[in-house]
Amino acid sequence: MADEELQAYLRCIGQQLEELEMLSSIYCAPGELQMLDAGVVADFNEFLGADTPPSSLRSHLEYMVKLSIPANQSLEVRIELPHLYPLLEQARVSVHSPLLGKAREQHLKVEIDRYLCERREEDPEPYIFQLLSWLQEQIEALIQRPVSEFEQPQPEPEPPEPLEPPQTAAHLERLWIYSHHIKSSAKRQELVRQARHLELTGFSRPGKPGIICVEGQAEQVQQFWRAIKALRWQKISVVRTEPGQRRRGFDTFSEQLFNEEEGIMNMGQFIKFLEAHGFGYMKSELFGLA
């Protein structure tokens, strides 16, 4: 792996830990900031202190922040940081509160996406505290506005019928997921079912280790990840996120076995499969192979 790429990972992981420490000192009331996997911090510190490749990073930093809003209410903000945030990737943010209701929550989601897109054009520095401050202002204003403003949007004019299928490549995303193993037939069927239901392409490789690649519309890709992560796993994590893809690498989603023997992957077959689809670089990300 190029030294520049390694330095990018080191810089981003270091900034994420520094930002988390700062947020912990601000949102320090009991239950105000909750780590979804406290072990990630130890993994990150080990990565920064040892000569290990970025492929050793199996999990992302994820935490929940409770923001106080009027009427003694609160809302939960879930933050997920890809490994190359804030330099090359942007944070994934979702907000949940029964006080907002479905219409206001959907409106807020659009505003968050717009905010994150604007951040992409600025200096690549951590911005979660600024985001949380902005969110608190937005929500207090949202609560004051009648819900009818959001439930009755102005109809959009119908676009002219295109000569070719509309191009949505700018919104494509690809996830590479690593699991300790995939053996359960129920899980294997659920992976295929979820991917095809969400119109995603890619593959799943059962056995030990288990490898999953999904690609498609970013929202559907993240919905797939949320759905399968909720299943019971010994260990599962996103190894690489590839946003803004120009094209898909697969035509369908299917299960690939690579001549497995007692659940052990035939590495040579798998690497040939990756290289045939233009993903030879993933052998380093997944297994640390040059």
Domain 3-150: CATH superfamily is: Ubiquitin Conjugating Enzyme (3.10.110.10)
Q: How far apart are CA 133 and CA 210, in angstroms?
A: 40
Which pLDDT belongs to residue 268? Answer: 82
CB 216 within 8 A of CB 172: yes
Q: Is the pLDDT of residue 92 over 60?
A: yes
- Beta bridge partners, 216, equal 173
Check pLDDT > 90 for residue 63.
yes
Average pLDDT over residues 53-59: 81
Query: Is 69 within 8 Å of 75 (Cβ atoms)?
Result: yes
As a whole number, mean pLDDT of residues 165-171 equals 52
Taking the C-alpha atoms of residue 219 and residue 129, their distance in angstroms, rounded to an integer, is 24
Q: Is the dihedral of CA 229, 212, 52, 54 positive or negative?
A: negative
Pairing of strands 236-245, 201-205: unpaired
pLDDT mean over 120-145: 81
CA distances from 6 to 10, 58, 86, 286 (A): 6, 16, 15, 15
Lookup: tokens for 215: 């690609």
Q: What percent of the chain has pLDDT over 90?
A: 34
Tens of pLDDT, residue by residue over 5-29, are: 788 889 999 999 999 999 999 999 9
Nearest-angstrom CA–CA distance, 5 and 237: 21
Bridge-partner residues for 66, per DSSP? Answer: 76
Class of domain 169-287: alpha beta
Beta-bridge partner residues of 132 = none
Strand partners, 264: 208, 261
Would the pLDDT of 117 be above 90?
no
Q: What is the mean pLDDT of the chain?
A: 83
E strands, 4-91, are 33-35, 61-69, 73-81
Distance of CA 222 to the CA centre of its chain: 6
In the chain, where the domains are located: 3-150, 169-287
* Model confidence at 168: pLDDT above 50: no
Q: What CA–CA distance (Å, rounded) separates 281 from 290?
A: 9
Please give the DSSP secondary-structure letter assigned to residue 207. Answer: B
Name the DSSP class of 83: T
Give the pLDDT of residue 89.
Answer: 83
The helix (H) or strand (E) run that includes residue 95 is strand 92-96
More confident residue, 33 or 266: 33
Alpha-carbon span 237 to 233, nearest angstrom: 10
Give the DSSP letter of residue 228: H
